[in-house]
Structure 1
Amino acid sequence: MSAAPVPQDPAARSGRTRPAAPPLDLGALIADPDTRIVVCCGAGGVGKTTTSAALALAAAEAGRSVVVLTIDPARRLAQSLGLTELDNEPRRVEVPGAEGELHAMMLDMKRTFDDIVVAHSTPERSQQILDNPFYQTLSSSFSGTQEYMAMEKLGQLRASEQWDLIIVDTPPSRSALDFLDAPNRMSRFLDGTMIRLLMAPSRTGFKFASAGFLLFSRIVSKILGGQLLRDISAFVAALDTMFGGFRERATATYELLRRPGTWFVVVASPEPDALREASYFVDRLSADDMPLAGLVVNRTHPPATAALSATRAAAAAEAVLEAGGPDADLAAAALRVHAERMTLAAREQHLADRFTSAHPEVAVRTVPAAAGDVHDLDGLRTMAAELTGDDADTPTGTPRTRILPARRG
């Protein structure tokens, strides 16, 4: 099935060329000892996990001591790194010949939340919290908990000073902005009006509770059920002493992301929705004064050569079939495949150019789609070479900032 035709770009009709994106030098970024945290973010399904693992492998081979934190529950990262499984503690990955070290871990958000409760409360109080049914629901399925716990774990890893580079694969959220919003969302939840109302009996005692609160309590009890309301109230009362700690850590982790030595790498596929999400994220990073390294356009489809256009290849296929010959069908099929590849590449370049027109200051790196799933160190190494290779060192000579060569004006 042929790829859909690409609408002609107004810039091309007018003879103007799109602005060229600056090159994204990820090799220099991960080799720089001043780089301490790299956060890979973007929409779901664009290859953030594989990108994170490939960058971590490249950094270890460049001599860095690296830990990669993934939130991908599919366990593809463990398989590609040659591990049977990953858990909430970093595990050493054997990388033959590497000058540095590579560790990997997969976030267990409930275990991370449990560890926070135990670390910041007395044994008796922490057990009350851990045993509370509402807490058990909150720690495993509350919206935003996964993103918040990823931030908590990042703060823990950075505070340990055990690794000189931390690479974070952000959660597969509906919106890439959820990762940045998570700390403030959790803090707002814990400091919200309803939580404070639910905490009122534990602070003043029901004996002195106002008539208004008792009416509120009866209404909520009817809606939620008496037992759930009691569970929530008991949870809030037990967690009261930890509220300040949650807010402080939320603020500290957020500031950690703005500190020199942290870089965000936005990952997208050459699809409208993914690049739209990337554009929103770039705008948010700029608004929050957070350091953006650039955009990785992953899973592109560059042709083997750009010297033969899609139109000429399709016409040549027809001419070959008309001329006939023993290998005419094979030659025509190859030409048609090239025409389809050129059409697809032109569509992808058009989308990338639209992003660059909106964000001309954002550095870009394109990465070709792998022939199959990346499932071992060799596959990660191949992707790492695409991510960190010299901008002009490609088989066709097309810079890695692009999928097709730029049109001449």
Structure 2
Amino acid sequence: MTAAASGDAHRPARAAGTPRYAPPVDLAELIADPDTRIVVCCGSGGVGKTTTSAALALAAAEAGRRVVVLTIDPARRLAQSLGLGELDNEPRRVDVPGVDGELHAMMLDMKRTFDDIVVAHSTPERAEVILANPFYQTLSSSFAGTQEYMAMEKLGQLRAADTWDLIVVDTPPSRSALDFLDAPNRMSRFLDGTMIRLLTAPARAGGRAGFKFASAGLLFFSRIISKVLGGQLLRDISAFVSALDTMFGGFRERATATYELLRRPGTWFVVVATPEPDALREASYFVDRLSAEGMPLAGLVLNRTHPPASTRLSATRAEVAAESVDDGDGAPAALVAGALRVHAERMTLAMREQRLADRFTSAHPEVGIRAVPAAAGDVHDLEGLRVMAEALTGPDDDTPTGVPRTRVLPARRG
């Protein structure tokens, strides 16, 4: 196993000198290691986090582990690829013939998770009031940041149950990959905000004098805010916050506990990106954030790369050869020339992707890379997931061209 995926060190140390090439990532050993309990796949939207998460979970089940994969992706691609009609907020077992372990899958239901928290941490009477509150119904289904926070809540619940050997998390398709990490702190800031403190002042104040003081503050506050929100919405918010007041400490404690869980040994982050500037820029931000927070990074999955069928013929030589063949007559010559030009285009694309990967490695020389070729089409079944799982976990140098899986093209000599 590489330094980045070693159980002995929580995160890899920077080498004494800048390495010339990215180190490999041994995801096979990482997911088979019994000390690995949580793998979080993260990155910007549209880079293949859901498929990567499912493929790693399948590989872990084939390695004999009892795995659950939690997706936050509402597009239901995970259910389709696993052969399930649908997924919901409870783990469902996936029928995978011939594996030594077990594979379970679930899709976060943001509102149901919030409802379960309310019911579990309040009295039946108070829970009924909260669940019926119009502001709560909006907050639990569409409030900015709620999805990320509920993903953290569900992760904490799954880990506390201690039912699975490994939990694989597909993080929400947010605008920023950092939203998942920021969710607990944002929730704490929301609970400690001026608006919340004003709205909960009557419930928290003790005695008649305290209530009068709180009421005076609320009167001034409500005159201003009701012009913006409207009187009825303000009353709904005030009633919701007052009913939820006794649960605030629990929200904060669980947010802190889950955040700390992500920093403990046994948790690994896998950053997923495509060989595109925006995706790699987002991946770079995330790597920096993980480093700043002291969180364990396994490495970068460079997804949907386009390695050529052969690396022996450069794009320039292929173009020259195509022009030479064009001088010939008949369909065979045209076919050969066309194949040469396709190869030239593929080599040009691969060179661009390798330059982008090299730029990332220059900025983060300690971060291992696993390059995964693009599939011919969408992954929609278990067989497609197995192909991707092999690309993620296969031996580093076992590729059709012999190019290590850390790269799209061979390293230059000299």
Corresponding position of 2:11: none
SS of residue paired to 1:134: helix
Corresponding position of 1:30: 31
Corresponding position of 1:10: none
CA shift in 2, pair 1:210/1:97, >3 Å: closer
Amino acid at match of 1:38: V
1-structure distance, mates of 2:27, 2:131 = 42
Gaps of 5+ in 1: 1-16
Q: How many residues get paired?
A: 393
Deviates more, 1:320-329 or 1:266-275: 320-329
Corresponding position of 1:77: 78
CA contact (8 A) 1:20 1:360 kept: yes
SS of residue paired to 1:258: coil
Give matches, 1:2-401, under 5 Å.
19-204=20-205, 207-209=212-214, 211-401=216-406
Q: Cα RMSD between the aligned structures? A: 1.2
Deviates more, 1:186-195 or 1:342-351: 186-195
2-structure distance, mates of 1:54, 1:291 = 21
1-structure distance, mates of 2:19, 2:115 = 51
Corresponding position of 1:8: none
1:211, distance to aligned residue in structure 2 (A)? 4.1
Identity of aligned residues (%): 84
1-structure distance, mates of 2:47, 2:381 = 19
1:60, distance to aligned residue in structure 2 (A)? 0.3
1:325, distance to aligned residue in structure 2 (A)? 3.8
CA contact (8 A) 1:18 1:353 kept: no
1-structure distance, mates of 2:288, 2:55 = 26
Q: CA-to-partner distance for each residue in 1:241-271, whole Å, 9 max, x for gaps?
A: 0010001000000000001000000000000
1:213, distance to aligned residue in structure 2 (A)? 3.6
Gaps of 5+ in 2: 1-17
CA contact (8 A) 2:269 2:297 kept: yes
CA shift in 2, pair 1:212/1:67, >3 Å: closer
TM-score with structure 1 length normalisation?
0.94
2-structure distance, mates of 1:213, 1:234 = 13
Deviates more, 1:202-211 or 1:336-345: 202-211
Amino acid at match of 2:81: S
1-structure distance, mates of 2:324, 2:330 = 11
1-structure distance, mates of 2:204, 2:260 = 32
2-structure distance, mates of 1:203, 1:34 = 44
2-structure distance, mates of 1:88, 1:229 = 31
Amino acid at match of 2:199: L
CA shift in 2, pair 1:37/1:178, >3 Å: same
TM-score with structure 2 length normalisation?
0.93
2-structure distance, mates of 1:118, 1:211 = 33
Amino acid at match of 1:159: A
SS of residue paired to 1:167: strand
1:201, distance to aligned residue in structure 2 (A)? 3.1
1:190, distance to aligned residue in structure 2 (A)? 1.3
1-structure distance, mates of 2:276, 2:35 = 33
Amino acid at match of 1:381: R
2-structure distance, mates of 1:347, 1:197 = 55
Corresponding position of 1:9: none
CA shift in 2, pair 1:86/1:324, >3 Å: same
Q: CA-to-partner distance for each residue in 1:203-224, whole Å, 9 max, x for gaps?
A: 4476444645412211111211
CA contact (8 A) 1:26 1:388 kept: yes
2-structure distance, mates of 1:143, 1:100 = 37
Corresponding position of 2:14: none
Amino acid at match of 2:364: H
